[in-house]
A = this chain, B = another copy of it.
């Protein structure tokens, strides 16, 4: 079999982004066993640095051994049992996915919807049910480019657990787990964390830990068992073999992010997103997401009438080596989703994409 050509893309879709070079370098670090004291030190440092980017002191903060959707399933399967009420905010694909996952955990799901492209109303979520076990919401909707407000949910949640999807927000826009009163959150490494996909950082508050289900439906994602391996000072008891190389990569990416400074990284995402959105509007694209709730790291635009969007995306990929994402669901063929996350969030990539589109669209 001949070797595959190694195409080198500028990844401006909804994720994965281009990983930080430091993360790529760390992938090839010599393998260690999952019980090697040196690996456990790396894992401890990863968990500590995740606490910094999540802005939390939660002891149980670690990367789940799966992609972002595994993080979603892990948070739900550990908190929800048959008949528990879960209020879910739905204004895109990932809110919808939370409903489906919660239902498979046996939940009675109460959907609170907003039009795709608009933000959820926190008050409506708080009033949807008198005593839900969990209120679940997506912080940054990857399908629409909309940011939902979290802080008001934390202050009004009462006895409920607040669960937040931070897949596309963590290290891209401000996230404040403890300040907002979030009980469970999960992310993915391939977005603003600038690491290859395959891990889902999660954080679990002491309050949520007291209410974890006994013997969750999932053995692989059982937080109580995993805690005995991942927590500093725990028994470090073998549960399953961690994806060692990806943990090395996340370790390096977090070091890189914290060396640049989290506020600087967030400002870089903001500035690139703003230039991208201005540039696209200058080319005749109309922004999709509601003003005031637009994500800088994921821009959604209506493709102008008369443009063969699939053909233009194919040319971007094949001629320029730039990947942008199409719309999901009802917006397939109508929307583009353009990411500018992690190492991709550089001015040169914005300039390059706007220039390529100017050439292609005449």
State the A residues within 8 Å of B (CB).
1, 4-9, 11, 13, 15-19, 24-25, 27-36, 38, 41-42, 45, 65-70, 72-73, 97, 100-101, 104-105, 188, 190, 196-198, 215-220, 238-246, 249, 255, 317, 323, 325, 328
Decide: B31 and A242 in contact? CB cutoff 8 A. Answer: no
Tell me the bound Cα distance from A72 to B8 in angstroms: 35
Tell me the bound Cα distance from A244 to B238 in angstroms: 26
Decide: B68 and A66 in contact? CB cutoff 8 A. Answer: no
| Of B4, B38, B42, B69, the contact of A219 (CB 8 Å cutoff) | B69
Decide: B32 and A216 in contact? CB cutoff 8 A. Answer: no
The 9 A-B residue pairs whose C-beta atoms are closest, nearest first, are: A198-B243, A27-B27, A196-B245, A69-B240, A8-B30, A197-B241, A73-B220, A101-B219, A66-B66
Residues of B within 8 A of A27 (CB): 27-28, 245
| Of B4, B16, B28, B241, the contact of A190 (CB 8 Å cutoff) | B241
User: Closest residue to A17 on the B side, CB-wise?
Assistant: B31
Residues of B within 8 A of A72 (CB): 220
12 extra interface residue pairs, beta carbon distance < 8 Å, beyond A11-B33, A100-B219:
A6-B30, A19-B31, A27-B28, A36-B317, A36-B323, A67-B240, A72-B220, A104-B216, A196-B244, A197-B241, A198-B243, A198-B246
Decide: B97 and A188 in contact? CB cutoff 8 A. Answer: no
Distance to closest chain B CB from A3 (angstroms): 9
23 contacts between A and B (CB under 8 A): A1-B45, A1-B255, A4-B42, A9-B30, A9-B33, A9-B36, A16-B31, A16-B34, A27-B245, A34-B197, A36-B323, A65-B67, A69-B239, A72-B220, A73-B219, A100-B219, A105-B217, A196-B245, A197-B243, A198-B198, A217-B217, A238-B328, A245-B249
Tell me the bound Cα distance from A146 to B207 in angstroms: 44
Residues of B within 8 A of A38 (CB): 4-5, 7
Tell me the bound Cα distance from A36 to B12 in angstroms: 12
Tell me the bound Cα distance from A188 to B242 in angstroms: 12
Distance to closest chain B CB from A182 (angstroms): 22
Residues of B within 8 A of A100 (CB): 219
Tell me the bound Cα distance from A19 to B30 in angstroms: 9
User: Closest residue to A29 on the B side, CB-wise?
Assistant: B6
Distance to closest chain B CB from A131 (angstroms): 25
Decide: B16 and A70 in contact? CB cutoff 8 A. Answer: no
Residues of B within 8 A of A73 (CB): 218-220
Tell me the bound Cα distance from A8 to B33 in angstroms: 11
Distance to closest chain B CB from A126 (angstroms): 26
Decide: A7 and B30 in contact? CB cutoff 8 A. Answer: yes
Tell me the bound Cα distance from A15 to B238 in angstroms: 12
Decide: A242 and B67 in contact? CB cutoff 8 A. Answer: yes
Tell me the bound Cα distance from A176 to B202 in angstroms: 39
Decide: A16 and B33 in contact? CB cutoff 8 A. Answer: yes
